[in-house]
């Protein structure tokens, strides 16, 4: 049996939610009789709850919807880079392209391969069922980073934070532009609006478990969403399977 790593946070009512997004709830809708018998729950959640994928329609009305994304687009060999020691201990670390330049070989290799780049920040260790605010103060990436990743041909950009951009703690559409002089959704706009089918995966977990290499084996990740007709995103069950494959020479570097 191949080794499988779960890259998904469990959905419960205590899961971290982007401020102002719908809270997750699962309420019994049918329980008959008590004990063993039939159980059905009614779910309430947002399309961006927990570990999830963003489809272009999230920001662009003519963009592809989540049910239209081909399955083969959602499965492949990732390249994972680790910036955890760079961002450790710093709230809201702003990751610029200059921080990632030393990984350019790996990013290039991702672009020449299955075009899936995952960045481990280690911030998932702040994920807690007490919903500590620290999880919301995660590192974030600039629009320039997105532009460079697109130049390298990346089609799926995945992170282990609630959001790849700075999480606004209040609803501040427009205000951030005034406050910081830049588009608060520059990365989403660049990737989801790039014209090709490019996707963002957010809130991944356990990326450290797929950093290790085993000679002759490689990881394949699966980021398949629910087939939600005409919608902008969906929770996914993200996981990686290690299987026999073409050995790839990796020179992993860490900050």
Positions in the binding site for Zn ion (CB under 5 A): 48, 54, 202
Of 194 and 243, nearer to Zn ion (C-beta) is 194
CB of 54 to Zn ion, least distance (A): 4
CB of 52 to Zn ion, least distance (A): 6
Q: Which helix (H) or strand (E) holds 30?
A: strand 25-32
Cα 128 to the center of its chain, rounded Å: 17
CB 137 within 8 A of CB 92: yes
Q: Cα–Cα distance between 125 and 161 in angstroms, integer?
A: 10
CB of 170 to Zn ion, least distance (A): 18
CB of 32 to Zn ion, least distance (A): 37
User: What torsion, rounded to 10 degrees, do the Cα atoms 150, 71, 21, 205 define?
Assistant: -80
Any bridge partners for residue 162, and if so which? none
Q: Cα–Cα distance between 149 and 57 in angstroms, integer?
A: 20
Q: Cα–Cα distance between 71 and 236 in angstroms, integer?
A: 12
Of 74, 78, 115, residue with least CA distance to 218: 78
CB of 69 to Zn ion, least distance (A): 14
Of 48 and 77, nearer to Zn ion (C-beta) is 48
Residue nearest to Zn ion (CB): 48
């Amino acid at each position: 049996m191949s080794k499988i790593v779960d890259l998904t946070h469990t959905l419960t009512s205590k899961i971290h939610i982007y401020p102002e997004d719908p809270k997750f709830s699962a309420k019994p809708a049918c329980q008959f009789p008590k004990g063993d018998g039939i159980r059905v729950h009614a779910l309430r959640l947002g399309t961006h709850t927990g570990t999830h994928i963003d489809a272009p329609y999230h920001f662009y009305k003519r963009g592809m919807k989540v049910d239209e994304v081909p399955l083969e687009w959602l499965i492949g060999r990732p390249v994972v880079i680790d910036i955890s020691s760079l961002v450790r201990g710093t709230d809201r670390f702003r990751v610029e392209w200059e921080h990632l330049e030393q990984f350019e070989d790996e990013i290039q290799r991702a672009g020449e391969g299955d075009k899936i780049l995952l960045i481990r920040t280690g911030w998932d260790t702040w994920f807690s069922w007490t919903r500590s605010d620290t999880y919301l103060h995660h590192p974030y990436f600039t629009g320039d980073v997105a532009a460079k990743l697109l130049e390298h041909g990346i089609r799926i950009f995945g992170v282990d934070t609630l959001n790849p951009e700075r999480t606004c703690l209040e609803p501040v559409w427009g205000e951030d532009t005034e406050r910081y002089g830049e588009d608060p959704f520059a990365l989403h706009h660049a990737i989801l609006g790039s014209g090709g089918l490019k996707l963002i995966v957010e809130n991944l977990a356990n990326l450290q478990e797929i950093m290790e290499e085993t000679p002759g084996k490689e990881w394949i990740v699966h980021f398949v969403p629910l087939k939600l007709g005409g919608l902008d995103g969906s929770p996914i069950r993200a996981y990686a399977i290690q299987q026999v494959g073409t050995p790839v020479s990796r020179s992993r570097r860490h900050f």
